Chain A
């Protein structure tokens, strides 16, 4: 089992809905990440938080809004998504510096 917990595991939403994805870790990691993974493709980095501050935004559309309320939690707020946003959304965490990332199971998102 992974030590990075993501909820929900599956989410189906309409293009006008507002929903949030949640990620939690209790490993004391101070860096947290959101990735998007389309079918049969590698994960693509979306956002990085270091010490609860947004440090990297890979030119992600504003309909995706990340939030890091504390060092253990990472949210991804979704609004007015498009069908092409359907994907597996992965959360990861790591220690700051030269350390590997630990991944959650992901949230499989479907936009109707």
Chain B
């Protein structure tokens, strides 16, 4: 069965610090990978996605993620965080050509202080 692990449960940073959130998945076949963000009181929004091609994916708001197949990882990065990045971040995975069944990681709560 597929599973997704996010080892950082709670991350606290100051503004302008660099961010890296870990995501590892468990699945033997080819996968689609996603990062979603949930700002306080708001809906889940897609930050970026990987289906195929260049393993370095750029998303909205300056976020990027790198798919490393050998490590089953899809870590999220941002060179300089802002207070407005305070949110819950979810990594998610689905099987290639079957995005119906989306499996979410447990989430990482990011707090950015001015």
Interface on A for B, CB 8 Å cutoff? 2, 4, 31, 33, 40-45, 48, 50, 55-56, 90, 92, 94, 97-106
Contacts and interface: CB of A to CB of B under 8 A. Distances in A.
Nearest to B103: A45
Contacts of B42: 105
Given A42-B90, A98-B32, A105 B43 contact: yes
A81 to B, nearest CB: 23
A90 B103 CA distance: 14
B100 A56 contact: yes
Interface string B91-103: 0000011011111
B51 interface: yes
Interface in B61-87: none
Contacts of A4: 43
Interface residues of B, number: 22
Contacts of A42: 90, 104-107
A41 B106 CA distance: 6
21 contacts: A2-B43, A31-B100, A42-B104, A42-B106, A43-B104, A45-B103, A48-B101, A50-B100, A90-B43, A94-B99, A97-B97, A98-B96, A98-B99, A99-B99, A101-B102, A103-B36, A103-B43, A103-B44, A103-B45, A105-B42, A106-B43
Interface of B: 32, 34, 36, 42-46, 49, 51, 90, 96-97, 99-107
A100 B100 contact: no
A41 B90 CA distance: 10
A97 B96 CA distance: 9
Nearest to B36: A103
B86 to A, nearest CB: 15
A55 B51 CA distance: 22
Max chain B Cβ within 10 angstroms of own Cβ: one of A31, A45, A56: A45
